[in-house]
Chain A
């Protein structure tokens, strides 16, 4: 990583795209727009984080939402039961998710391909079952926030804006993180693993270490936004926190935009949430929007496996300079 890399116009185009989208509700000051963009920004963070593992390292995680859920639980536990404020709880949620990834990484990153993918589903389900029986986290009923808690942050309305700003900053930060990882030596090692793990080892890439850190990096921010999401939501329950289909939607976003690119997960998150919004408001599709997501994933893998950005980069090599 050198400063030279930060002069890449593509990075700034991407950051500008997030910032413009994020500033829109601030300009219009409309809560409904804010809610819509909040969901998009949340998806940007989750998809962009997943991309570090899926896109750069080539490991498919079907259970990435476990980090979001665990972060949310740890954060809400600290806020509700221990009386912490939002900031340290947010950090603690991120660290808890990172720690889980660190421990899991030792165990399951030895697995390759579909075995790893299956293990990640297992972990999500196991975590849900565990939390369901874990009394400090409220068991099956979960944890609920006292409405008074929002008063510390200037009341509920202000708290919603505050959370929106934090998520927006995290989304921009995540784009930088993704870009820095991609253009670093660490990232080169990850991409070598993605392309051929055995060959990477023969060239001296310390694969267990690289993979574990990629996993940890891809887990921390989902943990942080988990705290924000459930703090905003006011309560957390096991089925809400560990929704497997959300993991799959994240995969769709990354694949749709283009895995292994910095811009791809952003485009995928925006595109997918837009589509989802349209489907949910249509009488015909509102009950089968997840089926549409599945179909979309199938079509992408069959016809444009590189995703939108990947396809553009292959088709027009000049695009590589402007879209990282």
Chain B
């Protein structure tokens, strides 16, 4: 097991953002994390990578209990993350941004080695032509890919992707899904939060559904999609669910 989350709860004052979340993930798999807005998906990411300390429960990453460890310590163990709201280092070039990932990530490269990895990763996500531009000059699709590139440059064992498809146009979505497929082929384990249903259902091996901070379903995509509780709690209207999950659905699947 590369990641084991056991009995994790998180309170913010009186608000319970996560309630007893338990799941584990095998190496090389993709876990889709879905749920309505405010279900606690990003909070769960924040607990996993150490931004928040869980109020209860434990997180185990590659056999090490990482509960309460610092974000940078966890990052250096091989856990990388792409943020939902992009956080480019604006006044640095695209190359420097990606080099930060390589320099301070799992492999702890010197600048020379990091430059080689940065070039490779930028080509992988299709940013090689932007290498010397400032990150602030990228458009949103490119910034999303930059987030991805920075995370990949760390050569992580586990990659947390927080809505990397949100805000992208259909062509960019296709491109990004293609990138996710390629990352998985390299053997990197991925947890992805996603609202684009078709994407989640097509790439995930397992899907975890959160609703009001509680896990309500966990299993292969086909099973989860037909789970009555998921259909009701997450999608509300069963008719809409059918429509969304149909392979020929139009672009209306972009929930938020």
Contact = CB atoms under 8 A, between A and B. Distances in A.
Interface string B198-209: 000000000000
A184 interface: yes
Nearest to B135: A195
B153 to A, nearest CB: 9
B96 A203 contact: no
Nearest to A201: B71
B87 A201 contact: no
A205 interface: yes
A204 B105 contact: yes
B100 A200 contact: yes
Contacts of A191: 89, 91-92, 96
A284 interface: no
B76 interface: yes
B256 to A, nearest CB: 23
A53 interface: no
B158 to A, nearest CB: 13
Interface in B43-100: 49, 51, 70-72, 75-76, 80-81, 83, 87-92, 96, 99-100
A245 interface: no
Nearest to A191: B92
Contacts of B51: 198, 202
A207 B76 CA distance: 13
Nearest to B132: A317
A203 B112 contact: no
A188 B96 contact: yes
Interface residues of A, number: 22
A195 B72 contact: no
B49 to A, nearest CB: 7
Interface in A1-59: 1-2
B40 interface: no
A2 B103 CA distance: 15
A71 interface: no
Given A188-B96, A189-B100, A203 B105 contact: yes
Interface string A151-194: 00000000000000000000000000000000011001101101
Contacts of A202: 49, 51, 71-72, 75, 80-81, 83
Most chain B CB atoms below 10 A, which of A198, A201, A202: A202
Nearest to B96: A188
A188 B75 contact: no
Contact of A189 (B71, B103, B112, B150): B103
B111 A185 contact: yes
Contact of B89 (A1, A196, A207): A196
A1 B75 CA distance: 23
A317 to B, nearest CB: 9
A205 B96 CA distance: 14
B76 A204 contact: yes
A206 B89 contact: no
A118 interface: no
A299 interface: no
A199 interface: yes
A184 B89 contact: no
A201 B72 contact: yes
Contacts of B83: 199, 202
A201 B100 contact: no
Interface string B118-153: 000000000000000000000000000000001000
Given A2-B111, A201-B72, A204-B105, A260 B91 contact: yes
B103 A185 contact: yes
B192 interface: no
A191 B90 CA distance: 10
Interface string A199-218: 11111111100000000000
A260 B91 CA distance: 10
Contact of A207 (B72, B80, B81, B111): B72
B180 interface: no
Nearest to A310: B91
A184 to B, nearest CB: 7
Contact of B90 (A188, A195, A203, A260): A195
Interface of B: 49, 51, 70-72, 75-76, 80-81, 83, 87-92, 96, 99-101, 103-106, 110-112, 114, 150, 154
* The 4 nearest A-B residue pairs measured at CB: A204-B75, A195-B89, A204-B104, A199-B87
Given A188-B96, A198-B51, 7 more contacts: A185-B114, A188-B99, A202-B75, A202-B80, A203-B150, A204-B105, A206-B72
